[in-house]
Amino acid sequence: MVYKYDTRNKVNFHHFIDNVPGLTLVIKTKNAIIAGFYPDVLKDKEILNKGGLLVSVTNNSSYTLYTRKPGDNNKVIYRGMIYDTFFAIYGNA
């Protein structure tokens, strides 16, 4: 484990995950366990379009993260993550 949220520790999680290739996050809530994978490096002000994977461990299902270009159903645009100052956002939010 690299990082665990702690209300007493105000260190921003980006300190631990930015510029790390092959980012995997596992989030445990009261109702579910969710995992996300982004194969490239998480960087601010970058287009994070290398694809990715979102997994519901609880429901035993997975989702490839991509979108289609508006008006062109044949053009796939991968959007693995969106950089956010306060949250880890997989896909297009």
pLDDT at position 1 over 60: no
pLDDT of residue 93: 61
Give strand pairing partners of 24.
37
The DSSP bridge partners found for residue 54 are 36, 63
The model's pLDDT over 32-72, given as tens digits with 9 standing for 90+, comes to 999 989 888 988 888 788 888 889 999 999 888 776 666 66
Position 31 pLDDT exceeds 70: yes
Check residue 2 and give its pLDDT. 64
Q: Degrees (nearest 5) of the Cα angle 76, 51, 81?
A: 115
Q: List the helix and strand counts (H, then E) for the chain.
A: 1, 8
pLDDT at position 91: 76
Structure confidence by residue, pLDDT tens digits, 75-88: 666 678 888 888 87
pLDDT at residue 72, as a whole number: 67
